Amino acid sequence: MTAAEWIPSIDIGLARRLDAEDPLAPFRQEFLIPNDREGKPQTYLVGNSLGLAPKGLRDAVTAELDRWADLGVAGHFTGETAWASIHELLTEPMAALVGAEADEVVVMNSLTVNLHLLMISFYTPTPQRHKILIEAHAFPSDHFAVESQIRQRGFDPAGSLEVIAPRPGEETLRAEDIVATIEHLGDELALVLLPGVQYFTGQVLAMDEITEVGHRVGALVGFDLAHAAGNVELALHDWDVDFAAWCSYKYLNSGAGGVAGTFVNRRHITDTERPKFLGWWGTRKDTRFEMSTVYEPIPTAESWQVSNPSMLTMAALRASLDVFQRAGGMGPLRAKSERQVTYLDQLLEALPGNRVISLTPKAMAERGCQFALRITDPNHEGKKVFAALEEQGVAADWREPDVIRVAPVPLYNSFEDIHRFVTILDGVLS
């Protein structure tokens, strides 16, 4: 597509043509879109907060309820979705989404629980090397988890918790400042724990560079991928990341509180000296039911499991990952996302009067599909604009103090959704 064809127009014809040419457009029909107050489908642009329900999810969950009714306890070991091993069905498709080897990934628990389990293994402070680096605007759950881990090891967050913030007057982190901070902390730094995609601004961090410089000073490096998994292309294995964790209810569409994912670099899996919280489900599968109290870890990331998985949350996530596989994985989805981001950029730039600015970086390598929008029109308060968008059927979300987040998700959002959103936003601001 030529640059000229991206010239924005209030004419909806371009959006409809882009949708007609989109090979991923049919996947929109595989999701359930909520209705607005008038009974029409919402312009749903909040998949960065909660993804839409795949139509196949109901059948997948009902099938497990039926198996429970028919088989009772035998369901643990009967059929393709035997509950004792149901998580294994998710391993390869999840590993493909995050750029990992299958033995480095396990689907289990929830995001913050997994971060705690991973920090038990990867935060091993000493009197010399005890600091954890996070971002100043980290998601509160991450901040709380890190503080509690520091205290649990007998250290004080006042001296062991380091934060990096954007420069004064800026909204996003500079790559060179992250590198400089890691290098400055040097041999005091035990762990770098940063987001793959910053939840507020939508900024994608240079995970490969952060990992390299963290390792260079002797620290371990982990990432919270809550806003990255299913949004941007990842290569955790090739980047040599030590560990990562992510939820699955945003871009991965598994439902509120859906089961989460974990990555542990293959280098660490067989390290018998690395501390770990142990549970029955992490010990060898072939001897698990011998009820021995001698722990023999599974030689994969599965050894970080502490208990058996929920059959229902596993079934829900499997229904969504099936759609990702049929769509061709993150390559085609990211390519469409970049086209949608470009289209929305240009429509926003065409709005008269500089009434809306985006805090999200412009460079494509530094952004996923989320936009963080701030209303600068002095005649319109941002929160009231957000409420007006909701009244007119746009599902977005509000983040204090002044940001409206919208995210065109390539699996189910259309170019026409984007056009409709900007048209409604223009009307609200007029």
pLDDT digits (tens, 9 = 90+) for 114-139: 999 999 999 999 999 999 999 999 99
Domain that holds residue 417: 3-48+329-429
- Segment 334-360 mean pLDDT: 94
- Tell me the CA distances in angstroms from 326 to 27, 228, 316, one per residue in order: 9, 20, 16
Residues contacting 150, CB < 8 A, separation 6+:
123, 125, 130, 132, 156, 157, 160, 161
Task: Please tell me the predicted confidence (pLDDT) of residue 3.
Answer: 35
Last residue of a domain, one of 325, 344, 361: 325
- Segment 184-197 mean pLDDT: 98
pLDDT at 5 over 80: no
Same domain for 299 and 380, yes or no, is no
User: What 3-state DSSP class applies to 398?
Assistant: strand
- Segment 359-380 mean pLDDT: 96
Same domain for 309 and 421, yes or no, is no
Task: Please tell me the predicted confidence (pLDDT) of residue 6.
Answer: 42
Beta strand 356-358 pairing with 131-135: unpaired
Same domain for 87 and 106, yes or no, is yes
Q: Is 53 part of any domain?
A: no
pLDDT at 306 over 80: yes
pLDDT at 80 over 80: yes
Does the reported pTM lie above 0.85?
Answer: yes
> Average per-residue pLDDT in the chain?
95
Same domain for 160 and 282, yes or no, is yes
What does the block give as tokens for 270? 């067989």
Task: Please tell me the predicted confidence (pLDDT) of residue 114.
Answer: 98
- Segment 147-151 mean pLDDT: 98
Last residue of a domain, one of 290, 325, 360: 325
Same domain for 115 and 157, yes or no, is yes
